[in-house]
Amino acid sequence: MIAILKKGTTENEIKELTSWFEEQGVRCHLSKGDYQTIIGLIGDTSHIDTELVESLDMIESVRRISEPFKKANRKFHPDNTVIKVGNVTIGDGSFNVMAGPCSIESETQIIEIAKAVKAAGATILRGGAFKPRTSPYAFQGLHEEGIKYLIEAKEETGLPVITEIMDARHLPLFEDVDILQVGARNMQNFELLKALGETDKPVLLKRGLSSTLTELLMSAEYIMASGNPNVILCERGIRTFETATRNTLDVSAVPVLRELSHLPIIVDPSHATGVARYVKPMAMCGTAAGADGLEIEVHTNPKAALSDGAQSLTPAEFEDLMQAVAKIHAAL
Amino acid sequence: MIAILKKGTTENEIKELTSWFEEQGVRCHLSKGDYQTIIGLIGDTSHIDTELVESLDMIESVRRISEPFKKANRKFHPDNTVIKVGNVTIGDGSFNVMAGPCSIESETQIIEIAKAVKAAGATILRGGAFKPRTSPYAFQGLHEEGIKYLIEAKEETGLPVITEIMDARHLPLFEDVDILQVGARNMQNFELLKALGETDKPVLLKRGLSSTLTELLMSAEYIMASGNPNVILCERGIRTFETATRNTLDVSAVPVLRELSHLPIIVDPSHATGVARYVKPMAMCGTAAGADGLEIEVHTNPKAALSDGAQSLTPAEFEDLMQAVAKIHAAL
Amino acid sequence: MIAILKKGTTENEIKELTSWFEEQGVRCHLSKGDYQTIIGLIGDTSHIDTELVESLDMIESVRRISEPFKKANRKFHPDNTVIKVGNVTIGDGSFNVMAGPCSIESETQIIEIAKAVKAAGATILRGGAFKPRTSPYAFQGLHEEGIKYLIEAKEETGLPVITEIMDARHLPLFEDVDILQVGARNMQNFELLKALGETDKPVLLKRGLSSTLTELLMSAEYIMASGNPNVILCERGIRTFETATRNTLDVSAVPVLRELSHLPIIVDPSHATGVARYVKPMAMCGTAAGADGLEIEVHTNPKAALSDGAQSLTPAEFEDLMQAVAKIHAAL
Amino acid sequence: MIAILKKGTTENEIKELTSWFEEQGVRCHLSKGDYQTIIGLIGDTSHIDTELVESLDMIESVRRISEPFKKANRKFHPDNTVIKVGNVTIGDGSFNVMAGPCSIESETQIIEIAKAVKAAGATILRGGAFKPRTSPYAFQGLHEEGIKYLIEAKEETGLPVITEIMDARHLPLFEDVDILQVGARNMQNFELLKALGETDKPVLLKRGLSSTLTELLMSAEYIMASGNPNVILCERGIRTFETATRNTLDVSAVPVLRELSHLPIIVDPSHATGVARYVKPMAMCGTAAGADGLEIEVHTNPKAALSDGAQSLTPAEFEDLMQAVAKIHAAL
């Protein structure tokens, strides 16, 4: 961290400032020019509050040199993290599609869809049992029962499964689940992140609607700092002024995250657009951008889906998407 | 809810559609014009998924006539909700300022600040024991010990107290706290909202960084639908492209929320701006806009604050703010 | 347009309202249900101010059924518009890359770059002579002299050329230019749009930093309504809260615009990202999304570029991009 | 400007870099620490492209120490700029309200409204003759005829007048106009700004919908750098994700601009909210924030207004607003 002092700062003020920094456990290196005095802070500055330092009278500006995330940082971990679930690997250059219904509605429904998405090439089954819904009056998922059906579909098809967890108290219900998903609205539910960090299950962490990529990586850091290195990042659209799509897929997140972090990156075009007919082109974009895989909503009867029917593909549409995506992936 | 059909929709399609709506428990009223066919949906449409309906082939557009929130809606509850904590009332036209440090750091600190803010006219003491921090390496609060100190400050000064809760599992620790605060990042932590809805404690619900006012009211609805009517809304700045302030205080939220809802409204200029010297003018704005009160960060030594020092006022600055705000409130 | 009346609106009020609509040249079709009264407005409603109608006391809500743009609308012009410049066609399924420097700096520079981008497969040469710069102290372009050099490069290489126009008064200087570019900041400079509408030159219209896709199409409509049907739409990134890239490329704009309009669509990944190393993956995304082509900044010596060097590719990087993009295009 | 070099940068690279900076007319001051090497750039750095410098391989980060605006900067011009039009002064602590219709519709209309707003305490008359409308089919204003009526209203009432200019070619028509308004959509129409900078008329410059405050000041700088120091800044709402109001009034712009610049600041609550009943509370906020005045839309018959009727106040509503605002101003 570099702090640039205002002109006219006195020797005494500088002394006081450097003592204060040293009390916080960092060493100071002073560069006095006839132009400007600069303090370089050496050591672990991750707990220093830049906004507070910037607000001090004698400070012109402050700049972090190093990113505030460590364990998620590619600089300290140059090789890609590879995550294994069942016989599937994520992050090693292979391309994995997680597909299934927004909500698990019945045993028949989830098994039928699981077979359909497997036939089309999906390698992981998704399905929601706990559903975060804006309205308390909307369908909230089948909860424990839903997870039971999901595990049956896993046994039936051999596909590893991913489903969302909304509260640390529910963790015991997820024992047979392969990947725990943290939704966009919970990306900064830090108590949940810490609880997941104490497990060893892979966690797919969705970017919050208005979270920067640095904040996404800091949330990954919460999980990793608590002991769980198995984090998968997921871009699922951000909130902007545009209303033609539900959110705006920030596909540039893929190369930016690839550069900053070693964690695998998944793109979710279903939630990003909210419109079934835009899912295929956005899936192709995510693939072209270099993602490690996709998460796609598929339903055998979107019109009857209990949630997010508007953005669900039929199995036939999903098969079409898979073929288009395979061609793009082959072209990379 | 009104659904406008596309031209050329056949009788059979209309029949199929109305049956589908009726299966979902609403009645249909058909208006056929030579211009357009319109279906009015009558009954409780709060669980109908407008995005799904809009995605159907035969639908031109869909429009909710009624807001999706009920218990928070002024239409069904014209009188202002008044919340009592200790001998303080919020929402009855009085003006309450909740003030105190971002983080509780020690018994001495919180008691000293409590006395200072009470002397300046604050009616409620704020102080954080559980701190949501972007970085896992930043100070996370004193937790149980912090709440103990806060309660001591309450006993010492007689001020009711407000502090943030981040996880339903912590609820037992908050028994002597007067108002539970839900932070911006947890505004859509629905499991937490439901747990708070099962208590009878007043809840101050902060607007999420990128949440619409309708979403804020839907989150209030979660608490109220679970049985707790004592919700206070809080505008604390939204995320925009502007970086001169940490967030952008959306002060128009005050008249909009006042119109839509009967719940009390508090403005938090400290988090909205993130800069101590902008807190006073923004506090004056919030007052002029008609808020029921303010939440302000005050610290006896902002430079040494363990969190959010950049936006904290000294007791002297706070006193100055209180005088300015009192003049504005008198002018209304 | 559909206007839904509030319950309790009297016969007299309805009469007054319909007369008022009829004075504005539209016919009214009334649907009275026991549920709600709805007025369908028939005829050309493009000049009716929906916000004003919505603000009337007796109105519950208003909804446009038809889009406000006509000439740019695919509904009224189902076939793709194909634009010809020299021996290049845009919009007929071919893929065109417009490449060159942000600013034209000298005759040698533009000719050298023109040859390089042609060799790599670009079909159109771009280069700025009038530069919109945030600062009045930044390099503003070579103006007339720059256009002269650009035309020389065109003669030397045979490539048609595109360059930005910032003011209608400059039009006479652009006689030999093939495509006139309107920059993001001028997307709603309506006087300029009208002046360009009176020419017959193709116009590449860049989306404003915070313009919706409907607003982009309304600006295209300005040009077309003035008599010039040769408009090319360009997505170049929108302003969001994210700062990892200069702007956020909204690649979902491609399928949305394709659906709404028959005009060709170009993606500009250079301005969207502002960072040279992200240009290639975003170019691949734009191609995968189905754009008709790309606009890319190329400079033989980015470090010495007089503007936008940070996002310019070297000829070698551009060649690499062209090969990647060709593979994606072939995979579609 | 401070450039921080990456570790491992060689002596030769540093030499090359400093030569390159010196070619651009700035001197370099080198601070070599064992921690980091920093180059301080001395002299006029306003034309140095920070993004380009940041993109160089050997650069860790770059930071401007000084703001890129000079003439608009309070640092170099500590006293408030005071602008005189007729017998009205703006920026000297007095409070001026500019009121009138969005569009001038007839001689009778503008004179009637002028008298009404004068009676209520407005000191400047506003009225649009050239109207920037999203749709080419919407009413575009009476143009020359409108300005004629506005001047008649000025003569009738003695109020100085403000009206919008959209194109430098129209300047001769504005000879008798007191203040030229630049609309939000033209804030970065740099050719128009330069043309206005060559006049000596006061210019009210509206902030663009997605412009930062720094960009607003850079646009003011364009006018001032061309020779015209008489610029008035106007906050009129920014584009965000929230749709309850047309735009979001960023009232914190007032204290931020006050700190950065010496230019007068006006708040426009009519365009910010787009809803007549929110104009009064937002006018009160703007006043409480410390603005030098307001711009308010008033129409004797909002329902019949040819543009922006939804946000126009009646003369009675305007009078009520003026009384509320006067009380707030007196309380400051």
What is the arithmetic mean of pLDDT over A145-152? 98
Query: A55 or B247: whose pLDDT is higher?
Result: B247
* C-beta separation of A228 from A215 below 8 A: no
pLDDT for A268 equals 98
Q: State how far residue B66 is from chain C, nearest Cα, in angstroms.
A: 10
Is the pLDDT at D178 greater than 70? The verdict is: yes
* C-beta separation of D285 from D292 below 8 A: no
Q: How far apart are CA B244 and CA B284, in angstroms?
A: 19
Searching chain D, which residue's CA lies closest to the CA of residue B274?
D252
What is the arithmetic mean of pLDDT over C65-72? 85
**Given the structure tokens 């002397």, which residue do they identify?**
B119
What is the arithmetic mean of pLDDT over D15-32? 83
With H, G, I as helix, E, B as strand and everything else as coil, classify residue B250.
Answer: strand
Digit-coded pLDDT (tens) for D151-162: 999 999 999 999
Is the pLDDT at A241 greater than 90? The verdict is: yes
Region for residue C302 given its phi and psi (left: phi exceeds 0; alpha: psi -120 to 50; beta: otherwise): alpha
pLDDT more than 90, % of chain D: 73
Mean pLDDT of chain C: 92
Is the pLDDT at D34 greater than 70? The verdict is: no
Check C310 against D51: CB less than 8 A apart. Answer: yes
pLDDT more than 90, % of chain B: 73
Instruction: Tell whether C60 is within 8 A of chain B (Cβ).
Output: yes
Query: C302 or C115: whose pLDDT is higher?
Result: C115
* C-beta separation of B191 from A166 below 8 A: yes
Check B277 against D254: CB less than 8 A apart. Answer: no
Highest mean pLDDT (candidates A72-76, B59-63, D203-207): D203-207
Check A256 against C245: CB less than 8 A apart. Answer: yes
Is the pLDDT at D143 greater than 90? The verdict is: yes
Check C290 against A281: CB less than 8 A apart. Answer: yes
Instruction: Tell whether A137 is within 8 A of chain D (Cβ).
Output: no
Searching chain C, which residue's CA lies closest to the CA of residue D67?
C135
Gyration radius (Cα) of chain B, Å? 23
Q: How far apart are the first and last CA of chain A?
A: 39
Confidence of residue D56 (pLDDT cuts 50, 70, 90): confident
Instruction: Tell whether C267 is within 8 A of chain A (Cβ).
Output: no
Per-state percent for chain D, helix, strand, coil, to nearest 5: 40, 20, 40
Of residues C169, C303, C307, nearest to D168 (C-beta):
C169
Is the pLDDT at A34 greater than 70? The verdict is: no
Check D167 against C303: CB less than 8 A apart. Answer: no
Searching chain D, which residue's CA lies closest to the CA of residue B260?
D244
Searching chain A, which residue's CA lies closest to the CA of residue B306?
A49
Instruction: Tell whether A63 is within 8 A of chain C (Cβ).
Output: no
Query: D23 or D83: whose pLDDT is higher?
Result: D83
Q: Please report the residues numbered 207 through 226 in chain A whose beta carbons come closer than 8 angstroms to any beta carbon of chain B.
A: 208-210, 215, 218, 221-222, 225-226
pLDDT for B91 equals 97
- Positive or negative, the CA dihedral C119, C122, C127, C131 is negative
Is the pLDDT at B35 greater than 70? The verdict is: no
Of residues A245, A253, A255, nearest to C252 (C-beta):
A245
What is the arithmetic mean of pLDDT over C124-136? 94
Searching chain C, which residue's CA lies closest to the CA of residue D278?
C55
From edge to edge, which strands make up the β-sheet containing B27-32?
A: B27-32, B37-42, B2-5, B59-63
pLDDT for D13 equals 85
With H, G, I as helix, E, B as strand and everything else as coil, classify residue B232.
Answer: strand
- For an interface test with B, give the residue of D215, D248, D285 to mutate (most B CBs within 10 A): D285
What is the arithmetic mean of pLDDT over D103-130? 97
Of residues D68, D185, D307, nearest to C49 (C-beta):
D307
pLDDT for A186 equals 97
Instruction: Tell whether B27 is within 8 A of chain C (Cβ).
Output: no
Q: How far apart are CA D296 and CA D248, in angstroms?
A: 16
Is the pLDDT at A57 greater than 80? The verdict is: no
Query: D332 or C90: whose pLDDT is higher?
Result: C90
What is the arithmetic mean of pLDDT over C253-263? 97
Which distant-in-sequence residues (6+ apart) come within 8 Å of A257 by Cβ? A213, A216, A217, A233, A235, A263, A265
Is the pLDDT at C52 greater than 90? The verdict is: no
pLDDT for D219 equals 98
Is the pLDDT at D35 greater than 70? The verdict is: no
Which chains reach chain D with 3 or more Cβ–Cβ distances below 8 angstroms?
A, B, C
Confidence of residue C209 (pLDDT cuts 50, 70, 90): very high
Q: State how far residue C247 is from chain A, nearest Cα, in angstroms.
A: 10
Q: Is B196 exposed, middle or buried (0-12, 13-18, 19+ CB in 10 A)?
A: buried
What is the arithmetic mean of pLDDT over C83-100? 96
Written as one string, the DSSP assignment of A229-291 is: --EEEEE--B--S--SSSSB-BTTHHHHHHHHB-S-EEE-HHHHH--HHHHHHHHHHHHHTT-
Q: Please report the residues numbered 146 through 185 in chain C whose beta carbons come closer than 8 angstroms to any beta carbon of chain D.
A: 166-169, 185
Check C221 against D136: CB less than 8 A apart. Answer: yes
Which among C291, C237, C303, C304 has a CA at the least distance from the CA of C263?
Answer: C291
* C-beta separation of A9 from D13 below 8 A: no
ipTM reported for the complex surpasses 0.85: yes
pLDDT for B292 equals 98
What is the arithmetic mean of pLDDT over C50-68? 78
Instruction: Tell whether C191 is within 8 A of chain D (Cβ).
Output: yes
Q: How far apart are CA A150 and CA C269, in angstroms?
A: 41
Which among D75, D23, D328, D110 has a CA at the least distance from the CA of D217?
Answer: D75
Which chains reach chain A with 3 or more Cβ–Cβ distances below 8 angstroms?
B, C, D
Question: Which of A36-40, A105-109, B128-132, D294-298 has the least mean pLDDT?
Answer: A36-40
Digit-coded pLDDT (tens) for B140-174: 999 999 999 999 999 999 999 999 999 999 999 99
Digit-coded pLDDT (tens) for D219-264: 999 999 999 999 999 999 999 999 999 999 999 999 999 999 999 9
Q: How far apart are CA C108 and CA C152, in angstroms?
A: 10
pLDDT for C193 equals 98
Is the pLDDT at A205 greater than 70? The verdict is: yes
What is the 8-class DSSP label of residue A248? B
Confidence of residue C80 (pLDDT cuts 50, 70, 90): very high
pLDDT for C34 equals 58
Check C210 against D308: CB less than 8 A apart. Answer: no
Give A241's contacts in chain C (Cβ within 8 Å). Answer: 210, 212, 238
Highest mean pLDDT (candidates A52-66, D67-81, D185-199): D185-199
| Residue B297, CB-side half-sphere exposure with 13 Å CA sphere | 28
CA dihedral of B7, B10, B13, B19, whole degrees rounded to 10: 100
Instruction: Tell whether B321 is within 8 A of chain D (Cβ).
Output: no
Digit-coded pLDDT (tens) for B281-328: 999 999 999 999 999 999 998 777 666 677 899 999 999 999 999 999
Confidence of residue D10 (pLDDT cuts 50, 70, 90): confident
Q: State how far residue B268 is from chain D, nearest Cα, in angstroms.
A: 13
**Given the structure tokens 């996880």, which residue do they identify?**
B167
* Both structure tokens of B269: 């200029």
pLDDT for C42 equals 78
Give A38's contacts in chain D (Cβ within 8 Å). Answer: 2, 31, 38
Query: A304 or B325: whose pLDDT is higher?
Result: B325
Q: Please report the residues numbered 107 through 126 in chain D whose beta carbons come closer than 8 angstroms to any beta carbon of chain C.
A: none
Query: B13 or A258: whose pLDDT is higher?
Result: A258
Residue A247 CA, chain-centre distance (Å), reads: 16
Q: State how far residue A73 is from chain C, nearest Cα, in angstroms.
A: 15
Q: State how far residue D138 is from chain A, nearest Cα, in angstroms.
A: 23
pLDDT for D42 equals 78
Which distant-in-sequence residues (6+ apart) come within 8 Å of C304 by Cβ? none
Instruction: Tell whether D205 is within 8 A of chain B (Cβ).
Output: no
Check A308 against B52: CB less than 8 A apart. Answer: yes
- For an interface test with C, give the residue of A235, A236, A251, A261 to mutate (most C CBs within 10 A): A251
**Given the structure tokens 């929906």, which residue do they identify?**
C50
Of residues C42, C65, C243, nearest to B4 (C-beta):
C65
pLDDT for B33 equals 64
Is the pLDDT at A208 greater than 90? The verdict is: yes
Instruction: Tell whether A29 is within 8 A of chain D (Cβ).
Output: yes
pLDDT for C219 equals 98
Give D239's contacts in chain A (Cβ within 8 Å). Answer: 241
pLDDT for D79 equals 96
Phi, psi (deg, nearest 5) at residue D239: -90, 125
Is the pLDDT at C139 greater than 90? The verdict is: no
Which distant-in-sequence residues (6+ apart) come within 8 Å of D236 by Cβ? D184, D206, D207, D247, D249, D267, D268, D271, D272, D295
Instruction: Tell whether C305 is within 8 A of chain D (Cβ).
Output: yes
- ∠ CA(A290), CA(A291), CA(A292), 5° rounding? 120
Instruction: Tell whether A240 is within 8 A of chain D (Cβ).
Output: yes
Query: A138 or D128: whose pLDDT is higher?
Result: D128
Q: How far apart are CA C5 and CA C54, in angstroms?
A: 10
pLDDT for D19 equals 87
CA dihedral of B212, A210, B136, A25, whole degrees rounded to 10: -110
Query: B163 or A20: whose pLDDT is higher?
Result: B163
Confidence of residue C262 (pLDDT cuts 50, 70, 90): very high
With H, G, I as helix, E, B as strand and everything else as coil, classify residue D138.
Answer: coil
Of residues A34, A40, A61, nearest to D35 (C-beta):
A40
Q: State how far residue B238 is from chain D, nearest Cα, in angstroms.
A: 9
Which distant-in-sequence residues (6+ apart) come within 8 Å of C12 by Cβ? none
Which among B70, B40, B126 has a CA at the least distance from the CA of B298?
Answer: B126
Mean pLDDT of chain D: 92
Of residues A190, A226, A276, nearest to B166 (C-beta):
A190
Confidence of residue B110 (pLDDT cuts 50, 70, 90): very high
Is the pLDDT at D33 greater than 70? The verdict is: no
